[in-house]
Amino acid sequence: MDITEFSKPANKPAPGPVLGIETSCDETGVALLRWEPEAPGRGLLAHTLYSQIKLHADYGGVVPELASRDHVRKLLPLIREALAEAGLTAQDLGGVAYTAGPGLVGALLVGASAGRALAWGLGVPAIGVHHMEGHLLAPLLEDNPPEPPFVALLVSGGHSLLVEVKAIGQYTILGDTLDDAAGEAFDKTAKMMGLPYPGGPALAKLAEQGRQGAFRFSRPMTDRPGLDFSFSGLKTQVLLAWQQSDQSEQTRADIARAFEEAIVDTLIIKCRRALQASGAQRLVIAGGVGANRRLRNELAAAGVKDGFQTYFPRLDFCTDNGAMIALAGAIRLASGQHQDMSVQVYPRWDLQTLPAA
């Protein structure tokens, strides 16, 4: 990966846009964002994304080594594409933000190495961004951004978190998954029923054809106090129901609907509890599962009924993307935070350890 084309003398005279790089798993995301505190979304100059879905489809899941190698191939072309879209050159950049964790260590190292090297060559500051903070802040890119305090539901293939946000960088985890994350449960359940990869979106689409009430599954851990999640038992219920059924196409759709309803109901119950416990009146929903239509509709309806406001990023920014990393990085760089030239990534990283911005 040759980055010499991006080098320049140090001592940049004025701050420019931040380059955001996302390579934590199987999507290579790049974005350019000029920090505008009053309306962060207006500062988004360009964003581009490459998905590795086709690369991993034959394996039924992400192969870490293949993911890393593909990031190496795609990252610099995407950076060039984003710069061209924004009408900028690398020398116009004022900083670089890259995902430093959590995620696949090899994939993280690709983005971190490139981001750190670019920053050094350009003489601009760089900062490693927490992937889940990026998701948490993604709704700030919309026209009606939420203001802290709020509760965030972060649901993806690897995480199911309820987070109390008192200010940017001041996070308290209220609930976490004890086993499978919500997105992981979607993918594994879809695979059990023979749906194509990636399973989560395929299952959600199939659920639209299911009949209400044909099957019913439990709402895990809602029969006791607490805000933690557990979806492994629900996955087993679905497996047994599928194995004992006629396995027709209609039955497949009916089971998919019942499974999706169970996941969505569980998330809504926990969100209501978290809002009550924290006293917040705003709920942010982000992460890949945040793109689920049933979840978005029913949480919005719950907000109208209970009197809390819901905030979703646009569908493009629910899944992994460079824009959320550019935003999180821009906020921290604007507050004076940056890191030295060492390349460090964190496959596991507690969100609560982040400093305030």
pLDDT in tens, the chain (357 residues): 554 454 444 444 347 999 999 999 999 999 999 988 888 878 999 999 999 999 999 999 999 999 999 999 999 999 999 999 999 999 999 999 999 999 999 999 999 999 999 999 999 999 999 999 999 999 999 999 999 999 999 999 889 999 999 999 999 999 999 999 999 999 999 999 999 999 999 999 999 999 999 999 999 999 999 999 999 999 999 999 999 999 999 999 999 999 999 999 999 999 999 999 999 999 999 999 999 999 999 999 999 999 999 999 999 999 999 999 999 999 999 999 998 889 999 999 999 999 998
Q: Which tokens sit at 258? A: 């019942």
The Cα–Cα gap between 132 and 324 comes to 10
In degrees, to the nearest 5, what angle opens at C-alpha 226 toward C-alphas 221 and 231? Answer: 30
Residues 343/114, Cβ–Cβ less than 8 Å: no
320 a known binding residue? yes
Q: Where are the alpha helices (DSSP H) in the chain?
A: 53-57, 64-86, 105-122, 131-137, 182-192, 199-207, 232-243, 249-278, 293-306, 322-334
176 a known binding residue? no
pLDDT score recorded for residue 169: 96
Is the pTM of the predicted complex or chain greater than 0.75? yes
140 a known binding residue? no
Measured CA distances, 23 to 17, 47, 95, 129, 186 (Å): 20, 14, 18, 11, 22
pLDDT score recorded for residue 40: 80
The Cα–Cα gap between 289 and 168 comes to 22
Strand ordering across the sheet containing 18-22:
44-51, 27-33, 18-22, 95-101, 126-130
The Cα–Cα gap between 280 and 149 comes to 6
Residues 291/315, Cβ–Cβ less than 8 Å: yes
200 a known binding residue? yes
232 a known binding residue? no
The Cα–Cα gap between 105 and 188 comes to 23
Residues 351/132, Cβ–Cβ less than 8 Å: yes
307 a known binding residue? no
226 a known binding residue? no
Residues 347/24, Cβ–Cβ less than 8 Å: no
187 a known binding residue? yes
350 a known binding residue? no
